[in-house]
A and B are shown apart, each in its own frame.
Chain A
Amino acid sequence: MDDNDAFVELSALLTGLYDDLLHDPEHRSLNRPIAVEYARRLKGTFPVKFPALLEAYKTLATATPKPPVNDALLAALRATQAFKDNEIVAKQIVNVWYFSQFKDEKDVLIDGGFYERGEVWPRIKAHPIGFSTQLHGYWSRKPQSASH
């Protein structure tokens, strides 16, 4: 299993963004290069723990028959010792997808490079802080449904 494919699946599993990362072809395609970049930055920050968590996922995901990527697989992953040992990386994978930033082991924030694509904003019906595209006074109204 390709590391990038594994990272996208692992990301979907942890974040719950199954549609955006796996099922919706357009979003999946748009998110692919972002995933590659996030994986690169996470691996650079966690050179031992990131591969260890990814390997633990690959071990489960390459079973025969291949298990579906869903909460059941997540439960299996969370039950592994490798997950428990490397949960800090799991949390940072969630952070990087929702905020395009994550923390290293010393709590220093690291930029993911795609701030405006953070998945948190559509879910809370807000624009990325600092980057509104609406007009004066929009904030008085109840937000419309997000595009996601």
Chain B
Amino acid sequence: MQNEYDIIIIGSGVAGALTAWKLAQLDHYKILILEAGDNGISNGQRVQFHHMMDTQGNRGDPFAPYKDLESRKYAPAAENSQRELADQKNDPNNYYDYFSEATPDKNDAFKASYNRMVGGTTWSWRGNTPRYIPSDFHLHSLFGVGRDWPLDYNELEPWYAQAEWELGVSGNHDELDGLFGGYRSEPFPMPGIPLGYSDLKIKAKIDGKTVRGKPIHVVTTPQARNSKAFDNRPACEGHSNCIPLCPIQAKYDATVHLRRALEHPNVKLRSGAVVTRLEKGHDGCVNTVHFIDWKSKDKPQEKSVRGGIVVLAAHAIETPKLLLMSDNLANSSDQVGRNLMDHIQFEVVATFPEPIYPFRGPQSITGIEDFRDGAFRSQRSAFRMTIGNDGWGRAGSPATVIEGLLKEGKYGSALPGAIADRIPKMSRLSFSTEMLPEQSNRVDLSDKVDALGIPRPRFNFDIGDYVRNGLREGYAASIEIFNLMGAAVLDPQPKKFELGNGKVNWNTAAHIMGTTIMGDDPANSVVDRWGRTHDVPNLWVAGSSVFTTSATSNPTLTIAALTLRMAQAIHREMGGCHAKDE
């Protein structure tokens, strides 16, 4: 039977969009993008989402602008995933399920979530784009923990440079060139975002000072946020709303490359299509993609489409789910769904000694990179630290401050002055730790189903002592840094840190990784160094599910670099099985 498409891409987030665009550039491939969500990618859609920000309640919610989408019913996501395990388990409507008999030491909730939308989670990402450092690729060789990637920094470096151009990354080359041995072959396409008033005040107090025995440096975080007009998108206007939505698209999102890909007449996007199964032919290749078209007139209808190559780009929960739903496809290693990772994060908040006027400009502009590497990684996780420009971040909004003032009885004429005094001094440090790939941290299929009858994801998860000890170090470093600033650390913190049972409090950075892990050995990995599954020659996986280690970098730039590299490899391999029907 003739293939209808040369390439079928499942998912339209940054990995799917870049795959489609790059392959469309390379040849006249017939490409179909299947996307479970259903929303526009025009400026009008963005305005509509922005309007939602003006009419709904919780502006700190990453899903807030997207609440009206009908796709929330048919392509659900865990919209309250930051709750603790007991709260999640007690909610029958929770999208996430958990092993009923969890391993005794697997007692953590999986708190990260994602958007199932055209454009994916990039609608509501922060936009930070640091690179991995060289040691991140050799965690096992250098520190005896975790795994090694099948590739190294040098191999990925040119793709990082391309990815920075594609996403439009602003940054200061001199601050980051050579970071822990990571050279940069090219400058950033744009200079770094100007520091905020708060960053300048904080930097003046801590830059070059010694914290936990090492000198620290406040540097501008590389970010896919325009510091000047770039790629037909404007410079950032500082709406302080990067999460959940940049209202002017100064921050990159995947709609950039979707629009570009769809300019090619051979590229089609089909939204409202929830893929349910990949079917293999006798030759061992995937040839049919089954999906439910929930936009059909009467009721959701099952449909299918044939393609020569299939690229799974449905993020690190839906991608392994789909393989498991497809008769355990590409899982001879039993690694599909395992090695689930996130960046485990905590925020320490304080009152700066003078007004620093947060909530003006991007939510975070600067960070401290000095804690990302060292011999300690044999014992505990490294972390990246970011300096917030958003008050107390997720730990507390301005409303939290007013709530506190009212508890103090500050009604009446005392209130406006107290607000003007306290809120402009709100300051935040957050640290995100690396997680190790662990077999037992996994997602698989629940027997509970969603509105379309598709299994929900089921989790077994624990952050582990390696992370907990990294978090403790991050907490201690944050306290030292705030002390250097002369800032009064909030006591108690909005979330207590040490829980007293050997565990610590934490939150998610929502950086989901590792469920179709990359490696050279088919016996213990799912995809090869290019992103092709070991078991199925025409099935590729794009996105952070292929990450071998989580490192400390926000994942999107590495997703983009690996995807561009993968697309080139697919193009080279198009002569393989089922490829390009002529």
Residue B37, interface by CB 8 Å = no
Q: Is the CB of A132 within 8 A of B237?
A: yes
B381 to chain A, nearest CB (A): 32
Is A129 in contact with B200, judged by CB distance below 8 angstroms?
Answer: no
Residue-wise, chain A 1-37 has the 8 Å CB interface mask toward B (1 for contact) of 0000000000001111110000000000000000000
Residue B55, interface by CB 8 Å: yes
Known contacts A95-B402, A130-B239, A140-B200; decide if A17 and B360 are in contact (CB<8 Å).
Answer: no
Asked if residues B412 and A71 are in contact (CB atoms below 8 Å), the reply is yes
Q: Say whether B415 contacts A129, CB under 8 Å.
A: no
19 contacts between A and B (CB under 8 A): A71-B413, A78-B409, A90-B411, A108-B57, A119-B416, A129-B59, A129-B240, A129-B241, A130-B53, A130-B59, A130-B240, A130-B241, A132-B239, A138-B238, A138-B360, A140-B195, A140-B196, A142-B357, A143-B197
For residue B399, CB closer than 8 A to chain A, the reply is yes
Do A120 and B423 have beta carbons less than 8 Å apart?
Answer: yes
Interface string of A40-82 (1 = CB under 8 A from B): 0000000000000000000000000000001100100010000
Residue numbers in B under 8 Å from A125 (CB-CB): 357, 360, 424
The smallest beta-carbon distance between A5 and chain B, in angstroms, is 19
> Which residues of B lie under 8 Å from residue A111 when comparing CB positions?
55-57
Tell me the bound Cα distance from A146 to B282 in angstroms: 72
Name B residues whose Cβ lies closer than 8 Å to a Cβ of A: 50, 53-59, 194-197, 200, 227-228, 235-241, 245, 247, 357-362, 389, 398-399, 402-403, 406, 409, 411-417, 419-420, 423-424
A141 at the interface (CB under 8 A from B): yes
Cα–Cα distance between A16 and B56 once the two chains are bound (Å) = 26
A139:B412 contact, CB within 8 angstroms: no
A36 to chain B, nearest CB (A): 18
Please tell me if the beta carbons of A127 and B54 are within 8 angstroms of each other in the complex.
Answer: no
Shortest Cβ gap from A142 to chain B (Å): 6
Known: A123-B419, A127-B359. 13 other contacts (CB 8 A): A14-B412, A70-B413, A91-B403, A91-B406, A109-B58, A111-B55, A123-B423, A124-B357, A130-B239, A134-B238, A138-B238, A139-B196, A143-B360
* B410 to A, closest residue via Cβ: A16
Contact A126 B412 (CB under 8 A): no
Contacts of A119 in B (CB 8 A): 416
A93-148: which residues lie under 8 A (CB-CB) from chain B? Answer: 94-95, 98-99, 101, 108-111, 113, 115-116, 119-120, 123-127, 129-132, 134-143
Which residues does chain B contribute within 8 Å of A138, judged by CB atoms? 238, 360-361
Q: Which residues of B contact A141 (CB under 8 A)?
A: 197
**Contact of B237 with A136 in the complex, beta carbons under 8 Å:** yes
Of B57, B360, B402, B424, the residue contacting A139 (CB under 8 A) is: B360
Q: How far apart are the CA atoms of A111 and B238 in the complex, in Å?
A: 24
Contact of B416 among A17, A101, A137, A139 (CB under 8 A): A17
Minimum-distance CB pairs A-B, first 6:
A139-B361, A109-B57, A130-B241, A126-B359, A136-B235, A16-B415
Asked if A136 meets B59 with Cβ closer than 8 Å, knowing A98-B402, A120-B419, A143-B360, the reply is no
Asked whether A129 lies within 8 Å of B419 as measured between CB atoms, the reply is no
B32 CB to closest chain A CB (Å) equals: 35
Shortest Cβ distance from A121 into B: residue: B359
- Check if B238 sits within 8 Å of A139, measured CB to CB: yes
Chain A residues contacting B53 (CB-CB under 8 Å) are 115, 130
- If the complex has contacts A95-B402, A139-B196, A143-B357, are A126 and B240 also in contact, measured as CB distance less than 8 A? yes
Chain B nearest Cβ from A105, distance in angstroms: 15
With contact pairs A98-B402, A130-B59, A142-B357 given, residues A124 and B238 touching in the complex (Cβ less than 8 Å) = no
Beta-carbon nearest neighbor of B360 in chain A: A139
* A16, B411: Cβ atoms closer than 8 Å: yes
Q: In the complex, A8 Cα to B536 Cα: how many Å?
A: 70
> What separation, in Å, do the CA atoms of A79 and B471 have in the docked complex?
47
Q: How far apart are A17's CB and chain B's nearest CB, in angstroms? A: 7
Q: Which residues of A contact B406 (CB under 8 A)?
A: 91, 94
CB of B403, distance to nearest CB on chain A (Å) = 7
Please name all residues of chain B whose beta carbon is closer than 8 Å to the beta carbon of A140 when the two chains form the complex.
194-197, 200, 361
B245: chain A residues at CB < 8 Å are 130
For residue B75, give the distance in angstroms from its CB to the closest CB of chain A. 25
- Do residues A126 and B360 form an inter-chain contact, with CB atoms below 8 A? yes
Measured CA separation A17–B412 after assembly (Å): 8
Q: Which residues of B contact A123 (CB under 8 A)?
A: 416, 419-420, 423
Expressed in whole angstroms, the minimum distance between the Cβ of A137 and any Cβ of chain B is 5
When chains A and B are docked, how far (Å) is the Cα of A91 from the Cα of B407? 9
Q: In the complex the two chains form, is B236's CB within 8 Å of A136's CB?
A: yes
Q: Is A99 touching B399 in the complex (CB atoms < 8 A)? A: yes
Nearest chain B CB to A127 CB, angstrom units: 7
* Cα distance A99–B361 in the bound complex, in angstroms: 19
CB nearest to A146 among chain B residues: B420
Interface residue from A17, A74, A124 paired with B398 (Cβ < 8 Å) = A124
With a cutoff of 8 Å between Cβ atoms, the chain A residues found around residue B240 in the complex are 126-127, 129-130, 132
A residues less than 8 Å from B58 (CB atoms): 109
A126 x B357 contact (CB < 8 A): yes
B197 touches A101 (CB 8 A): no
What CA separation (Å) do A123 and B424 show in the bound complex? 9
Query: Could you tell me the distance between the alpha carbons of A14 and B143 in the complex, rounded to whole angstroms?
Result: 59
